[in-house]
Amino acid sequence: NYTEALAYLESLGKFGIQLGLVRIEALLDRLDHPERKFRSVHVTGTNGKGSTTAMIASVLTEAGLRSGMYTSPHLVDYPERMRLNGIDISREEFAGVIGQTRSAVEAMMAGGLESPTEFEVLTAAAFLWFAQQQAEIVVVEVGLGGLLDSTNVIVPEISVITNVTLDHMDRCGDTVEEIAHHKAGIIKPGVPVVTGASGAALLVIETASKRAMAECYVLGRDFHLTDNRYENGWQSFQLAVGQGSPEPYRTGILGRHQADNAALAVRTCQLLGLSEPRLTTEMIRAGLAKAKWPGRFEVFSGSPLLVLDGAHNPAGIRTLRETLDDVFPGRAVVFLFGVLSDKDHAEMARILFRKTDRAVVVRPNSGRAAAVEDIAREISAFASEVETADSIAEGLMRAKNWAGPGEIVCAAGSLYMIGEVRQLVG
């Protein structure tokens, strides 16, 4: 049952994150290679990979393709990671497919191979479920990096690399070039690449594309985004391909950076559309407008207004600040802020907080959470007032009580925390 499936996954947690494809390949071999039974799109990038994945999947579903979506981490519950036609896998099916994968793991270990990690088991289980459900195409988000990520066993129709900035330096290198090398690891021979990367990272990606004889489509060079603006609850923009005339699009996932993600999603779907007649411009436009991605500038109405955002590195925090200024100009913000210790939290504090802002600092639900006192001290250099709270629930209550008329409460800094806040607001 579901509880047993969770306990089993929990037991695999002790193997941590171990990059490399040996274990996942052996496991998929035991499951008769479900990953070869559907077409796919592979998405990586430092920020925006989840939003872009959700947008592409929404378009595919709208166009009537039986489409899957595999993302991580989850905000509240594991089944969020596996969706078919926009609907999460049921707990019963999740338990079933984890059970089947577990049997394959046990056979593997009986044969003397080491245990796969939690993420590897989840990935294999997801591929098995999509194959059983006869998905036509699955949009697969990379877990970490690309090159050695356990999703990198698929041969997709298109590889998408949203952008490359510094994050996860402990695993993917500490320069933009090294991180780009990991992301470019998803590029396969002859498979087109769509990217929003620039500068040094783009050079790495283009070199890898040439080596793989893969066509590389670059945002800002091969297709262009203009007139990117927030209006009436939509992020709207125009997109032109090559010398073509600009076409209007809009998404309800807000933020200037989301227009970049949407442009990548549109271009990906246009390229898929070359061999898939159901992917018309109308379907792309409609599917993009219907896309949802929880915990990314997600606004909950009420008094005060509450914004949830999963920004957890300096680049993500910068776009959050821009979006707050675009959508709620001139309004003071009370932040509920929690962050993991391995993030550049001093830089995040510098970018996010203004003299008109206040903050309640909490500890995200993770063994890697940063100490609230340290974070509060960093924030106090920029915000007008800072408090700490012993729990996320208490912090949320204090932030809401602290917000005056017309002020916004914004929870940010860690996806782990956002999931808990989302549960609290129901």
> Model confidence at 378, in pLDDT bands (50, 70, 90)?
very high
Mean pLDDT value across residues 357-386: 95
> What pLDDT is attached to residue 417?
94
What the block records as the tokens of 70 is 């595999």
Fold of 2-290: UDP-N-acetylmuramoyl-L-alanine:D-glutamate ligase (3.40.1190)
Mean pLDDT value across residues 166-186: 80
> Model confidence at 18, in pLDDT bands (50, 70, 90)?
confident
Beta-carbon contacts of 27 under 8 Å, excluding residues fewer than 6 positions away, are 101, 104, 105, 108, 116, 120, 121, 124
For the ranges 22-26, 37-41, 154-158, 163-167, the lowest mean pLDDT is seen at 163-167
Rounded CA gap, 337 and 256, in Å? 22
Tens digits of residue pLDDT in 72-91 = 999 999 999 999 999 999 99
Mean pLDDT value across residues 413-424: 94
Rounded CA gap, 63 and 6, in Å? 34
> What pLDDT is attached to residue 141?
99
Question: CA 224, 196, 184, 50 torsion: positive or negative?
Answer: negative
> Model confidence at 19, in pLDDT bands (50, 70, 90)?
confident
> What pLDDT is attached to residue 169?
55
Rounded CA gap, 348 and 412, in Å? 11
pLDDT of 213 higher than 60: yes
> What pLDDT is attached to residue 47?
87
> What pLDDT is attached to residue 170?
58
**293, 370 in Cβ contact below 8 A?**
no
pLDDT of 390 higher than 80: yes
> What pLDDT is attached to residue 367?
87
pLDDT of 116 higher than 60: yes
Tens digits of residue pLDDT in 214-269 = 999 999 999 999 999 999 999 999 999 999 999 999 999 999 999 999 999 999 99
Rounded CA gap, 196 and 202, in Å? 8
Rounded CA gap, 148 and 183, in Å? 9
Mean pLDDT value across residues 34-58: 97
> What pLDDT is attached to residue 365?
87
Q: In residues, how long is the chain?
A: 426
Rounded CA gap, 172 and 178, in Å? 7
> What pLDDT is attached to residue 372?
96
Chain centre to alpha carbon of residue 268? 17
State pTM to two decimals.
0.93
For the chain, domain boundaries: 2-290, 298-425
> What pLDDT is attached to residue 334?
99
Fold of 298-425: Protein-Tyrosine Phosphatase; Chain A (3.90.190)
In terms of Cα–Cα distance, which of 417, 348, 407 is closest to 382? 348
Long-range contacts of 8-12 (CB under 8 A, 24+ apart): 8/98, 8/102, 9/78, 9/98, 9/118, 9/121, 9/122, 12/115, 12/116, 12/117, 12/118, 12/121
| Mean pLDDT rounded to a whole number for the chain | 95
